[in-house]
Amino acid sequence: MSHLPVLPIVLPAALAAFILMTMRHHLELQRIFSIAGSVALTAIAALLVARASDGQVHVYELGDWPAPFGIALALDRLSAMMVALTALLLLAVTLYAVGAGWDARGRHFHALLQFQAMGVCGAFLTADAFNLFVFFEILLIASYGLMIHAGGAERLRAGFQYVAYNLLGSTLFLFAMGALYAATGTLNMADLGVRIAQLPAEHAALARAGAALLILVFAVKAAALPVHFWLPGAYAAAPGPSAAMFAILTKVGVYAILRMRATAFPESAPALAGLSEAWLLPAALATALIGAAGVLGARGMARLAAFGTIASVGTLLIAAALFTPQSAAAALYYMPHSTLAAAVMFLAADMVTERRGDAIAPGPRMAHHALVAAVFFLGAVALAGLPPLSGFLGKLMIMDAARGHERVAWIWGVILVASLITLMGLARAGSDVFWRPAEGEGRAENREQDEDDAAAGPGPAAPAQPSAALTFVAAFALLAALAALTVLAGPAMRYADAAVAQLFDAGAYADAVLRRP
């Protein structure tokens, strides 16, 4: 039997434990193992995608107990794709953290990063709702560690809020789980779906409340209005590479919404009819707008990236809220885009912050000015959803999918207006940070220097960067992935369509997971 589906969980966990046990004081070794582990995870993810593309739901029964009694992992196109996205992001973030020396500013960065990957992969693979809770906790607690890595008053204060808010979220998760178990007597997602579809009317209220609250928990993770308040402060205060890695966390929330709505909470069931869209769609629209407003109003680079993340999640949630096959496919296309674009922006923000501080204000030319500007500019193009990068295609798809919806004018209007506001904010920030010389600084003496400052080295304010080259490799790798997503939009969309067809075929999923004939 193939143990492939469990590897994305066991490998990072074992690697992290191994790092903790044997190489606590050897940063170089940690780096080597961490990068090797990320590469291995990427390879495994590629195998998973290949495996999943046969259209089957591959079930892995942990402990050899049949679902719903034991915990099962289920590998389908969607989960394989999400694991691959995680692996890619992990690799880039690891390289960046090594290159920027972030991993040397506190202990155990690499172990925490691997644990984070374990939690995220587990959340994408599990077919059990309570097990999903456990993986949420793993990815959350690892993210707490990554967020407060390297300390500092502002970061710790933001960290406290981040932890406390997410503890509220975890508590709500358990309340919802309790209500669902009390109503249905099961924990497996597929089994939940089967049982809820047959739920007698007198039990419906409990299941409805449980389902709605569980979706709310995922909305908290995804940072939808009005439960997004944890994000700006936390992500802005987090170390750059941590925040970049967190780009996948909001997507875990969106993934869970899609998965649960398709598998566990069938709205075709009388018990759950019309449960989610009524509030999810307005929330998503408001999220996109508030994110865009935050980008326009941001005073610091990191906050700009954080609100940019919110804006793109809002757009993504619009597609997730509509929940038609077409909109879900658009969401699946937009998902990797939104993740990678947000990660690039956090890396760009970190590059600027490391060199001349976080403020969006005129400042001195910095080391590698042109390269940093290029990363920011391309990241901004992606985040604002402008051509030629994939964000534009993603938005087009989402708008296209909203055609015929009764609120189509609202949806289109919000997507377009949010794009414009984001664009204005990014143009303002880029022009202030990269173009405007500080007071008293005139035109740079030798403009040819512009392209030549790779040789200039870090300025006096910049802390020594062990390997700036590695940081740019990481950032441009993410941008290259975005470019690939654009050029290969056709195949990507075919994959997304197939993944959605599989996602929406709850019967086949249940057949596979519950071993129904």
Partner 1 sequence: MELLFASAVGLLTACGIYLILRRRSFPVIIGLSLLSYAVNLFLFASGRLAVNRPPLLHEGAAGYTDPIPQALVLTAIVISFGMTAVIVMIALSDHLTSRDDRVDAPAGGAADDGVEAPAAQEDAR
Partner 2 sequence: MSLFLIAALPFLGAVLPALLVRASRNAAAGTAAGATALALIGVLTHAPAVMRGEVPMARAPWVPSLGLNANLMLDGLGLLFALLILGIGLLIILYARFYLTRRDPMGKFYALLLLFQGAMLGIVLSDNILMLLIFWELTSLSSFLLIGYWNHLPEGRQGARMALTVTGAGGLAMIAGALLLGQAAGSMELSDIIARREAVQASELYLPALILILAGCFAKSAQFPFHFWLPHAMAAPTPVSAYLHSATMVKAGLFLMARLWPALAGTDAWFLLAASVGLITMVLGAVTALFKDDLKGLLAYSTVSHLGLVTFLLGLGTPAGAVAAVFHIINHATFKAALFMTAGIVDHETGTRDIRRLGGLAAFMPVTFLIGAVAALSMAGVPPLNGFLSKEMMLHEAAHTAWLGSELALPVLAGLAALFSAAYSFRFVAHVFLGKPRLAHAEPPHDPVVWFWLPPAILASLTVLIGLFPQSMAGELVRAAAGAVTAGAAPEIKLKLWHGVNEALMISAAALAGGAAALALHGPLARVWAVVAPPAAKRAFDALVGAATAAARRLTDALHDGDFGRSAAIFSVFAAGLGAWAWTAGGAAPLGAFPAALGPTPPIPLIGWVCLVTATLTLTALHRHRLLALVLIGVTGLMVSLTFSYFSAPDLALTQISVEVVSIILLLLALNFMPRETPRESSAARRARDLAAAAAAGLGVGAAIYAILVGDFAFAPISEFHLANSKTGGGGENVVNVILVDFRGFDTFGEITVLGIAAVLIYALTETIMAGPVRARLLNRRPAEPQAGDAHPMMMVVATRVLMPIALTVAVYIFLRGHNAPGGGFIAGLIVSVAFVMQYMASGFSWAAARQRYPYHAFIGLGVLVAAATGMGAWFNGKPFLTSDFGYVKLPGLEKFELATAALFDLGVFLTVLGAVLLALESLARYAWRPNIASAHPMDIDPTRDEAAQREEGR
Interface residues with partner 1 (CB under 8 A) are 130, 134, 137, 141, 144, 148, 151-154, 156-161, 163-164, 167-168, 170-171, 174-175, 177-179, 181-182, 187, 233, 236-237, 299-300, 302-303, 357-362, 428, 432, 436, 439
Nearest-approach distance from CB 454 to partner 2, in angstroms: 10
The two tokens of residue 476 are 């441009």
Please say which residue, 240 or 300, places its beta carbon nearer to partner 1.
300
Please say which residue, 10 or 461, places its beta carbon nearer to partner 2.
10
> What DSSP character marks residue 488?
T
Please say which residue, 52 or 113, places its beta carbon nearer to partner 2.
113
The two tokens of residue 240 are 């750059």
- Partner that binds at residue 170, options partner 2, partner 1, none, CB closer than 5 to 8 Å by kind: partner 1
Nearest-approach distance from CB 56 to partner 2, in angstroms: 17
- Partner that binds at residue 406, options partner 2, partner 1, none, CB closer than 5 to 8 Å by kind: none
Please say which residue, 27 or 412, places its beta carbon nearer to partner 2.
412
Nearest-approach distance from CB 243 to partner 2, in angstroms: 16
Dihedral (C-alpha) 501, 507, 508, 512: value to the nearest 10 degrees?
Answer: 140
Distances from the Cα of 477 to the Cα of 91, 158, 347, 391, 500, angstroms: 10, 30, 12, 17, 27
Nearest-approach distance from CB 108 to partner 2, in angstroms: 5
Going by C-alpha positions, the residue among 250, 233, 240 that lies closest to residue 94 is: 240
- Partner that binds at residue 255, options partner 1, partner 2, none, CB closer than 5 to 8 Å by kind: none
CB 129 within 8 Å of CB 189: yes
Going by C-alpha positions, the residue among 52, 44, 162, 83 that lies closest to residue 335 is: 83
- Partner that binds at residue 184, options partner 2, partner 1, none, CB closer than 5 to 8 Å by kind: partner 2
The helix (H) or strand (E) run that includes residue 74 is strand 72-75
Please say which residue, 361 or 508, places its beta carbon nearer to partner 1.
361
Nearest-approach distance from CB 152 to partner 1, in angstroms: 7
- Partner that binds at residue 223, options partner 1, partner 2, none, CB closer than 5 to 8 Å by kind: none
Please say which residue, 365 or 395, places its beta carbon nearer to partner 1.
365
Question: Cα(393)–Cα(333) distance, rounded to whole angstroms?
Answer: 9
A 10 A CB-CB count for 435 gives 9
Nearest-approach distance from CB 461 to partner 1, in angstroms: 15
Burial 344-360 (b: 16+ CB within 10 A, else e): bbbbbbbbbbbbbebeb
- Partner that binds at residue 452, options partner 2, partner 1, none, CB closer than 5 to 8 Å by kind: partner 2
The two tokens of residue 453 are 């400052």
Nearest-approach distance from CB 133 to partner 2, in angstroms: 9
CB 78 within 8 Å of CB 498: no
